[in-house]
């Protein structure tokens, strides 16, 4: 069921100079969302903008999104006043299946930190073993972190110098560990291959450019391996069939 809600922005904080974190009131979305799902948020531009759900509070009926300013839509949404209302469609997409294992490594790159944060909170609250690896460009981008996390920066001015692979290389996961990753495609490819080399399952979230967000316009298609013989690949819609896919399934 795709439902649009008019929601109140209850709180807005700036996590970094160009990234806002909004707490939004909507008991329905907070109650139904699972980690890896996203919402499509209206702005004055023609199309809604997709954002991963970063946290939910079922008791108070709120959820959070993080917005990094990259263009006009995100600039407008990141500067929205507390108390304003916004139109939100969601929760959308399929999310991570966190029931598949009792042990997870979560890996985020850039704004992937937001959906991965929701997965972390859910796994932590359910008592499962979870290790967080966060990759950022540099210290100025570091957000939603804590002392228990492994943090890497490309610049080396915070945490381990290098990509999140440098962080993953500090770990010795057991064979039941499942890796979940959200970030830029080259990063997810590297993380997927890191997991594959160790015989671990890996799920990635494809943050393609989107329009409708509900499977109608086909703007967001990506290629997956075809099951039928003689067909090189099939197309799937990242918004509706994903955004979460098995790394082995997607053609990156």
Ligand X SMILES: Cc1cc2nc3c(=O)[nH]c(=O)nc-3n(C[C@H](O)[C@H](O)[C@H](O)COP(=O)(O)OP(=O)(O)OC[C@H]3O[C@@H](n4cnc5c(N)ncnc54)[C@H](O)[C@@H]3O)c2cc1C
User: Which positions touch ligand FES (CB under 6 A)?
Assistant: 210-213, 215-220, 237, 239
Near ligand X by CB under 6 A: residue from 62, 74, 163, 177 = 74
CB under 6 A: which stretch of 81-89, 127-135, 164-172, 208-216 binds ligand X? 208-216
Comparison of 51 and 149: residue with beta carbon closer to ligand X: 51
Which partner in ligand X, ligand FES, none is near 38 (CB below 5 to 8 A by kind)? ligand X
Can you give the length of the chain in residues? 252
Query: Cα(26)–Cα(179) distance, rounded to whole angstroms?
Result: 30
Reported as type and span, the H/E element at residue 106 is strand 103-109
Comparison of 192 and 213: residue with beta carbon closer to ligand FES: 213
Which partner in ligand X, ligand FES, none is near 71 (CB below 5 to 8 A by kind)? ligand X
Query: Cα(66)–Cα(39) distance, rounded to whole angstroms?
Result: 11
Tokens of 106: 């979560």
Query: Cα(141)–Cα(188) distance, rounded to whole angstroms?
Result: 19
Tell me 195's DSSP state. H
Comparison of 200 and 206: residue with beta carbon closer to ligand FES: 206
Which partner in ligand FES, ligand X, none is near 136 (CB below 5 to 8 A by kind)? none
Helix and strand totals (H; E) in the chain = 5, 16
Q: What are 185's strand-pairing partners?
A: none
Binding mask 17-56 for ligand X (x = CB under 6 A): ---------------------x------x---xxxx----
């Amino acid at each position: 069921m795709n439902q649009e809600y008019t929601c109140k922005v209850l709180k807005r904080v700036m996590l970094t100079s160009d990234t806002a974190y909004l707490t939004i009131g909507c008991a329905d979305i907070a109650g139904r969302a699972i980690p890896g799902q996203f919402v499509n948020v209206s702005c004055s531009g023609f199309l809604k903008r997709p954002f991963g759900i970063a946290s939910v509070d079922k008791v108070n009926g709120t959820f959070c999104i993080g917005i990094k300013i990259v263009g006009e839509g995100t600039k407008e949404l990141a500067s929205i006043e507390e108390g304003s209302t916004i139109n939100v469609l969601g929760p959308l997409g399929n999310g991570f299946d966190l029931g598949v294992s009792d042990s997870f490594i979560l890996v985020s790159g850039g704004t992937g930190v937001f959906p991965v944060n929701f997965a972390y909170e859910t796994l932590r609250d359910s008592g499962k073993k979870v290790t967080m690896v966060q990759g950022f460009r540099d210290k100025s981008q570091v957000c939603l972190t804590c002392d228990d996390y492994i943090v890497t920066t490309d610049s080396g001015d915070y945490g381990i110098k290098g990509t999140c692979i440098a962080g993953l290389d500090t770990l010795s996961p057991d064979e039941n560990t499942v890796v979940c990753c959200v970030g830029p495609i080259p990063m997810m490819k590297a993380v997927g291959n890191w997991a594959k080399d160790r015989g671990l399952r890996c799920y990635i979230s494809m943050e393609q450019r989107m329009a409708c967000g509900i499977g109608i316009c086909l703007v967001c298609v990506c290629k997956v391996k075809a099951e039928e013989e003689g067909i090189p690949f099939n197309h799937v819609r990242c918004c509706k069939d994903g955004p979460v896919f098995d790394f082995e399934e997607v053609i990156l």
